[in-house]
Amino acid sequence: MKIREILNFGYLPRVEGHLMFTVDVKTGNAQVEVMEGVRLFEGFVRGRKYDEVPYIVSRICGLCPCSHNLCAIKAIEDAFEIQPSEQTIKLRKLIVFGEVIQSHLAHLYLLALPDYMGVKDIFDIYKKHPEEVKIGLKLRENANYMLEVVGGRPVHPIRTTINGFLKIPTKTQLKELLNKMKESVEYAVKTVELFAKLEIPNFERKTEYVALKNENEYGLYDGKVVSSEGLNVEGKDYM
Amino acid sequence: MKKIVKPKIGLFDLTGCNGCLTVLLNQPEILDIARVTKIVSFRLAGEGKIRGRYDVSFVEGYAGDEEEIEVLKKIRENSDILVALGACACTGGIQTIRNFLNLEEVKEYVYPNSPTIKLVEAKPIDAHVKVDFYIPGCPVNGREVVEAVKAFILGKNPEIPNYPVCVECKIRETECVLIKGTPCLGPVTRGGCGAPCPAAGYICDGCRGPVKEANMVSEAEILKQILKEKDLTLLFRKYAGLMEGFKELAGR
């Protein structure tokens, strides 16, 4: 028998995606189940025009749309043996950084922090610690500005395309971005200080950690897929 | 409608990308919204449980399986006002592309031999429940969502424009891409987004669905001069290929 009441016990809050926690009373087994309809992107992009695929697949996730978008662009460039310009790659890396910053901040402040503080959500935290919350939101705002001026908008980029950009940021926008990033460094330090104060429960389990690895830089845009269990392959050989 | 003091709000997500609720979280007014309303349910950033009655519920995503259809019905039962948030909820969204294909074949391609995966047809949420207001777009325009929340507090209906995207290209002085021979759905797509896509050098690909009384015949004539029949069909089969006006050209 499964204890399973939709929504009332239901969806695990503050995670990306729908998961349900179920307990088998007889066996005592607890498990997390993916509770979401399927969308079938891999199936329905077949037969579409190649240059619209990056826009379609960004819709896989609204929290990391730029990664899906750029991943498709890179795959298509690979297929056509296109080597984009240095400028294009630099601008794309800004988008990757912007997305990682805003997504990690969403995780820290919106998804994780309420658990550590024993409250329901960030709005509860705001009542007691308005300055801290404002710092988190300001950092996200600055990262979103990066996505806005380079990718066109934070959720579902529109300026990125195969072998380049449809439009690039102006000098004024880049200067403004630089100022905002300088401001962000200061706030990022405050964020580290805030999270360093939290008491992290002592819990470890066997986990395989997977990441991109690049010999020349922090692997976010390019690199081999490596894991703590010894995986080490080129991206195209991963699947 | 009467003014609602501190309305109880539910922010729900069915199957989708969470992009529309992310856009809402990105709005500078989000803390003010949390202050002047009571956000009772918000799985993405708070708690997902359905608790009592809601003055206004916003629903993102499409009902992707039988259980989500039941969840959607329960949200409807408990809500005075139900708002469809974004393309998936308003028009069925990007996954409606698959409705034009052999669904079983598409499923087998992605999840071979997986009998546990039960597919339902991708549809707008108003195929299952009554919807009071629609805020379209993939993703939504965050300003429209903020304005809608303000309107509900003041006891007014939110205003979603019913003019084509072209109006907004003119306002922001974006050069017309259709005149340059690039296929664009701006003339037949509902505005309100602020026309960011043509301004970015892309086209309007119709994410907000058809504008009322769109001149589809004329649009089709222009597009046929630029596109092959098959590509024209694909253009309309994207976010809103099931909707009146688009579906005829999407080949349905």
Q: Would you list the domain boundaries of chain B?
A: 8-153, 165-250
**Whole-number pLDDT of residue B46:** 87
The closest CB to that of B18, out of A44, A49, A63, belongs to A63
Across the interface, do B97 and A61 touch by the CB < 8 Å criterion?
Answer: no
How much is the pLDDT for B118? Answer: 83
Distance (Å, whole) CA B112 – CA B105: 9
Residues across chain A: 239
Q: How far is A223 from chain B (nearest CA, A)?
A: 26
Band (pLDDT 50/70/90 cuts) for residue B29 is: very high
Best A138, A140, A153 member to test B by mutation, with max B CBs in 10 Å, is A153
Q: Which residues of A touch B106 (CB under 8 A)?
A: 40, 43-44
pLDDT at B38: 93
HSE (side-chain half, CA atoms, 13 Å) at A130: 5
Structural tokens at position B139:
């993703």
- Looking at chain B, how many residues does it have? 252
Q: Which residue of A has its CA nearest to B106?
A: A43
Sign of torsion over alpha carbons A45, A50, A55, A58: positive
Given the DSSP bridges, would you call strands A232-233 and B8-13 parallel, antiparallel or unpaired? unpaired
- What pLDDT was estimated at residue A8? 42
Residue carrying the six token digits 């490596």 = A226
Per-residue confidence at B48, pLDDT binned at 50, 70, 90?
Answer: confident
Contact B104, B62 (CB under 8 A): no
Q: B194-240: per-residue pLDDT in tens?
A: 999 999 999 999 999 999 999 999 999 999 999 999 999 999 999 99
Mean pLDDT of A177-201: 95
User: Which of B23, B67, B94 minimises the CB distance to A59?
Assistant: B94
Q: What are phi and psi of A225, to 5 degrees?
A: -90, 115
pLDDT at A9: 53
B200 in contact with A, Cβ within 8 Å: yes
**What pLDDT, on a 0 to 100 scale, did the predictor assign at position A82?**
97
Mean pLDDT for B126-141 is 97
* pLDDT confidence of residue A7: 37
pTM, entire model: 0.94
Q: Give mean pLDDT, residues B76-84.
A: 97
For position A3, what pLDDT does the model report?
43
CB atoms within 10 A of CB B16: 30
What average pLDDT does this structure show over B16-41?
94
Beta-carbon separation of A7 and B196 below 8 A: no
- Contact residues, chain B, for A158 at CB < 8 Å: 196-197, 200, 202
Instruction: Please state at what angle helix B19-26 crosses helix B142-154, rounded to 10 degrees.
Output: 70
What's the gap in Å between the CA of A179 and the closest CA on chain B?
19
pLDDT band of A2, cuts 50, 70, 90: very low
Q: pLDDT digit string (tens) for A30-70? A: 778 887 889 999 999 999 999 999 999 999 999 999 999 99
Residue B231: phi, psi to the nearest 5?
Answer: -70, -30
Handedness of CA B250, A61, A190, B41 (dihedral sign): positive
When pLDDT is cut at 50, 70 and 90, the band that residue A10 belongs to is: low
Name the residue with higher pLDDT: A21 or B65: B65
Report the first-to-last Cα separation within chain A, whole angstroms.
Answer: 37
Is a pLDDT exceeding 90 seen at residue B109?
Answer: yes
The hierarchical CATH code for the domain B8-153 is 3.40.50.700
SS (H, E, C) chain B: CCCCCCCEEEEEECECCCHHHHHHHHCCCHHHHHHHCEEEEECCCCCCCCCCCEEEEEEECECCCHHHHHHHHHHHHCEEEEEEEHHHHHHCCHHHHHHHCCHHHHHHHHCCCCCCCCCCCCCCHHHCCCCCEEECECCECHHHHHHHHHHHHHCCCCCCCCCEHHHHHHHCCCCCCCCCCCCCCHHHEECCCCCHHHHCCCCCCCCCCECCCCCHHHHHHHHHHHCCHHHHHHHHCCCCCCCCCHHHHCCC
Judge whether B69 is closer than 8 Å to chain A, CB to CB: no
* Percent of chain B surpassing pLDDT 70: 99
Nearest-angstrom CA–CA distance, B209 and B190: 6
Residue owning tokens 């037949």: B188
Consecutive H or E run containing A87: helix A86-105
The mean per-residue pLDDT over the stretch B110-119 comes to 88
- For residues B93 and B63, the answer to whether their CB atoms sit within 8 Å is no
Query: Across all residues in chain A, what is the average pLDDT?
Result: 91
Residue type, A208: E
Find out whether B238 and B190 touch, Cβ atoms under 8 Å: no
B60/B88 Cα distance (integer angstroms): 7
Q: What local confidence, expressed as pLDDT, does residue B184 receive?
A: 97
Per the omega criterion (within 30 degrees of 0), is the bond before A13 cis? no
Angle between helices B19-26 and A130-151 (to 10 degrees): 120
Q: How far apart are CA A88 and CA A24, in angstroms?
A: 52
Task: Quote the CA–CA distance of A136 and A105 in Å, as a whole number.
Answer: 7
